[in-house]
Amino acid sequence: MRGSLRLCTFKLKPKLRIFLTIFTIKAAVALLWMIPDQAQAQHRFQAANLLFEPRVNYGFLIAHHTEMAIYNSHFPSFEFSIAYATYGKRQWENLYNYPALGLSYWNAWLGNSSDLGQAHAMFPFINFPLIKHDKHELNFRLGAGMAYLTKKFDRLTNYKYNAIGSHLNAAVNLQLEFRWKPLHHLQLSTGVQLMHFSNGSIKTPNYGLNIPAITAGAAFRLNRENSYIQRRIRPSLTMYEFDGRDYIDVKLGTTFAIKEMGDTDGQRFYVYSGFVSALKTLSYKHRLGLCFDVSWDGSDARLINHSSDEPYKKIALTKPGLSIAYELVLARTSFDLNLGFYLGGKDKSEGMTYYKFGIHYLISKHVFANLTLKTHFARADYVGAGLGYRFNWGYKL
């Protein structure tokens, strides 16, 4: 019995030594991990850095079409936001002077007329500091999301309200604000903003609603503020970020959209578009270049038939275009602005120039999704979505 016990004890000793060796290595690694550099020690256990901000706005509905002049009135709107104040965990946060990211709910009764009803909007936003000091800031906010309007155009019950033809719409919010920080946990702000509602001609009529307003808000910090991470050396780059080398960013993409025309009794038309762009990376934040696109719009055939009886080939419905392209880059996300002109196409009813505003998001290093709004001056043509492929073409100066 004793012999067998000794034998068991003897057999367990190597396993015990292995266990103690592994435990010692883990303990050493843990001990080294507990002695980080100053920046790591300061920022390992950080709070969420959250701000809650109620806001009141007072504005009016712009009568940018004669038919909307009957709705001229001033009215308040209310907004509630929850925001995350960045402090430098990622490279782009430092490059853009530590902006705030958030989600906002916006609500208003649209004037005194019962035709207009109420608007509910929910949109994520980013607040870019233009000037930033310890006690005050000058910020520009860009927000884009969705809105639900309780009233819309109806041929029988609401025929005067020809600005919006659908309950569900896109919401775009632009705001310039001055922010003052009298207390550590309190920030006061005032400024001007513009709220825009439109469905991108998915459902007509679609004049859209534009609501400029003056605004005032009070932001309350929900927890301890994180101090900014100041780095002499930039952090490691992700696969999406500019690495400082000279190259051209090339994108090949597609966009698909559905739209209506105001005189077609609800008939819908399809829009197909493809583009290739080549942009020079100017810095970690900016790209500038050219974009060539080709679009085919099913509604153009109806417009041509209304204006002319001359025969034409279907290829004449194809409209090639060339535009100057600019991108504002935030790691995986970029905001795109294109100012272009048509190189051909039989339909000239919208003029020869167009504008495109888009958001591109990198799903992987090479594949991106895009959401694009195309307009002809102040009139939205369509809102489309699509996929694309991008790669970097390196060169030497």
Residues near 274 by Cβ (< 8 Å), separated by ≥ 6?
A: 252, 253, 254, 255, 293, 294, 295
**How far apart are the two ends of the chain, measured CA to CA in Å?**
84
Sign of CA dihedral 19, 22, 24, 26: negative
pLDDT reading at 11 higher than 70: no
- Percent helix, percent strand, percent coil in the chain, to nearest 5: 15, 50, 30
DSSP letter, residue 69:
G
**Phi, psi angles (nearest 5°) of residue 301:** -60, -40
Least confident residue range of 18-22, 224-228, 367-371: 18-22
Cα 344 from chain centroid (whole Å): 31
pLDDT reading at 381 higher than 50: yes
The H or E element spanning position 43 is helix 38-43
Three-state SS for 175?
A: strand
**Phi, psi angles (nearest 5°) of residue 243:** -105, 10
pLDDT reading at 369 higher than 50: yes
Cα–Cα distance for residue pair 123/105, rounded to 1 Å? 7
| 327 compared with 309, residue with greater pLDDT | 327
Q: Specify whether the CB–CB gap between 60 and 67 falls below 8 A.
A: no
Instruction: Strands of 17-111 (E only): list them.
Output: 50-60, 74-85, 100-109
pLDDT reading at 76 higher than 70: yes
Cis, bond preceding 129 (omega within 30 deg of 0) = no
**Confidence at 231, pLDDT banded by 50, 70, 90:** low
Structural domains present in the chain? 50-221 (2.40.160.20), 247-394 (2.40.160.20)
Two structure tokens written together for 131: 């000037």
Q: Give the model confidence (pLDDT) of 87-137 as tens digits.
A: 888 888 888 999 999 999 999 999 888 889 999 999 999 999 999 998 999
Cα–Cα distance for residue pair 28/38, rounded to 1 Å? 20
Cα–Cα distance for residue pair 379/373, rounded to 1 Å? 11
Cα 371–372–374 angle (5° rounding)?
Answer: 165
Question: What are residue 119's DSSP bridge partners?
Answer: 108, 149
In this prediction the pTM is 0.78
Q: Specify whether the CB–CB gap between 236 and 83 falls below 8 A.
A: no
Residue type, 26: K
Q: Specify whether the CB–CB gap between 71 and 60 falls below 8 A.
A: no
pLDDT reading at 338 higher than 70: yes
- Exposed, middle or buried: residue 213 (CB in 10 Å: 0-12, 13-18, 19+)? buried
Two structure tokens written together for 281: 């990376």
Least confident residue range of 15-29, 31-45, 237-251, 369-383: 31-45
Q: Specify whether the CB–CB gap between 56 and 215 falls below 8 A.
A: yes
